[in-house]
């Protein structure tokens, strides 16, 4: 049974307290939700897409990659609603972005050291 405060991520249930938050990359000191967004790009638009994504303040890391996806980004937001807005109204509006696959970070097992 899924409790009302839970939500679905793929086929697994997660409680809001299970999701990974980290100190902000800005000077606000607020905790932020981390989300990997894998992006399929129309190839003639790759340079334009990378340039547009690199200007988004929520994009912490941006990688052009080989394999199934064309671009992998790490997004930092304050909450799920902000992520929804960044995805729908910023990332998906970039000319050349075909589609995305998102993965919310539940727990950092190994990563950059936090202060």
Return per-residue pLDDT of the chain as tens, 115 residues.
333 343 333 433 444 444 454 444 443 344 789 999 999 999 999 999 999 999 999 999 999 999 999 999 999 999 999 999 999 999 999 999 999 999 999 988 887 755 4
Q: Is 67 left (phi over 0), alpha (psi -120 to 50) or beta?
A: left
Contacts of 29 by beta carbon, 8 Å cutoff, 6+ apart: 23
pTM of the model: 0.73
* CA separation for the pair 87, 22 (Å, rounded): 20
Nearest to 106 by CA among 11, 17, 42, 25: 17
Residue closest to 74 by CA, chosen among 51, 58, 55: 58
Instruction: Set out the domains of the chain in order of their start, with CATH numbers.
Output: 15-104 (3.30.70.920)
């Amino acid at each position: 049974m899924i409790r009302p405060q839970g939500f679905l991520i793929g086929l697994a249930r997660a409680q809001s307290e299970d999701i990974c938050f980290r100190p902000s990359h800005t000077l606000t000191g607020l905790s932020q939700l981390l989300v990997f967004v894998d992006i399929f790009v129309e190839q003639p638009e790759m340079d334009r897409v990378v340039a547009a994504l690199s200007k988004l303040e929520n994009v912490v890391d941006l990688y052009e990659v080989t394999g199934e996806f064309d671009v992998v980004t790490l997004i930092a937001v304050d909450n799920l609603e902000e992520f929804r807005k960044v995805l729908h109204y910023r990332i998906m509006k970039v000319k050349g972005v075909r589609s995305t696959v998102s993965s919310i970070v539940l727990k950092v097992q190994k990563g950059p050291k936090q202060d």
